[in-house]
Amino acid sequence: MDGFRLLSNRGLRTPYTKGNKLRNSKIKFTLAMTSAFALVFTAVTSSAVNAAPKKALKDIRIAAVVKGLDNPFFIGIKEGIEETALKYGVTANVQAAPGLNDDIGQANKLDSLAGQNYDCYIVIPISSNNLSQAIGKITKRGKTVINIDSPVDSASLSAAKGKIASFAGTDNFAAGKAGGKDMIAKIGKGKTIGLIAGLAGNVTSAARIDGFKAGALEADPTVKFVGPENADWDTSKALDKANAMLLGNPSIAAFFAANDQMAQGISRATGIGSKLIYGVDGIADALSLVKSGKITATISQYPYVMGQMGVQACIIAAQGGKVPAKTITPYYIIDSSNIDQALTNKSTRGYFPNQLPPGKYSNPYASKIKK
């Protein structure tokens, strides 16, 4: 239509005669039919482009890059990915960072997979922004990225022109908050709590610590905190930090650690005695220590469920479906009241004590898969 207006603006006209009037009518009719056909053709072709064909389950290929397997939590996620892929008959290639804190090594692994023939990628960043550049490359190729457990930093993702189709993971602030309230109920008011964090600047660690403080302050506005001190998710470093904190602050009544491996370190501290210790994750060693009384509680997550949902989201996307933007996975506080149930090993491979939580939880992905 713009071309027709241009001709009209340039003043291209034919003399008005009876013959020309007939020719002009024919021209107008022809142009009208041509325009109508163009609109119909555009609508059909646009619809065809937007409607992605259903891909057979056996043809779907998924790549996943998780954190280091030196933490059994991520072995649980790996198990969830692999077993769910096996259940649906899709291909899954799971790669892990060389170490829990090796953000460069992890980024290199995703970068090497980014150009390969996968329909969908599942990612768990170590430092929140270390995978953003590789995600940008994957997005540019028109492939889907699913983020589980630890969220990718939105600013770095935007700068790399990357896109996350769906996130599935624990609300770490809410989990920490639940732990803070629960601890105050156990130790009483007016006490001092030591805080041990993971990596400096890590989103997950910060959310858990901030959530814990919010919950504790809500339950007791007079509570005092020492720290947080960063122990880099490491058991030995957490032990050293706890010893130093107890030496300088002997009035500490309890500790909260942003993961279970650091809680294990705190449990070995000199003079820890009967002080309360809370961790986060629900790994096998921590559950055993809850059973023995050396750790008070762990805020248990369910990594198998995260891996499961990651694969299900990938399948939906590969089949041309729409995945939920965000799903909160379950968490439970495991202490002496429910430790026996938590220690029931339901894992087929034994990597993580519980594949599924003890109660109901929402999974918006499973029903959207076309079999």
Find out whether the peptide bond into 228 is cis, omega within 30 degrees of 0.
yes
Residue 64, strand partner residues = 94, 122
pLDDT tens-digit series, residues 88-143: 999 999 999 999 899 999 999 999 999 999 999 999 999 989 999 999 999 999 99
Query: Which residues are within 8 A (CB) of 247 and not within 5 positions of it... i.e. 6 or more apart?
Result: none
- Per-residue model confidence (pLDDT) at position 354: 60
Task: Of 355, 295, 367, 365, give the one whose Cα is nearest residue 330.
Answer: 355
Question: Judging by beta carbons within 10 Å of its beta carbon (0-12, 13-18, 19+), is residue 78 exposed, middle or buried?
Answer: buried
How many Å apart are CA 295 and CA 35, to the nearest integer?
75
Tell me which residues of the chain have a pLDDT lower than 50: 1-52, 350-351
Q: Number of helices and strands (H, E) in the chain?
A: 13, 12
- Per-residue model confidence (pLDDT) at position 348: 53
- Cβ atoms of 357 and 302 within 8 Å: the answer is yes
| Sign for the pseudo-dihedral over CA of 363, 312, 353, 174 | negative
Domains of the chain as residue ranges with CATH: 57-164+303-330 (3.40.50.2300), 172-301 (3.40.50.2300)
Map tokens 């601890």 to a residue.
183
- H or E segment to which residue 226 belongs: strand 224-230
- Per-residue model confidence (pLDDT) at position 361: 85
Q: Which two tokens stand for residue 195?
A: 């805080």
Q: CB 371: neighbour CB atoms within 10 A?
A: 7
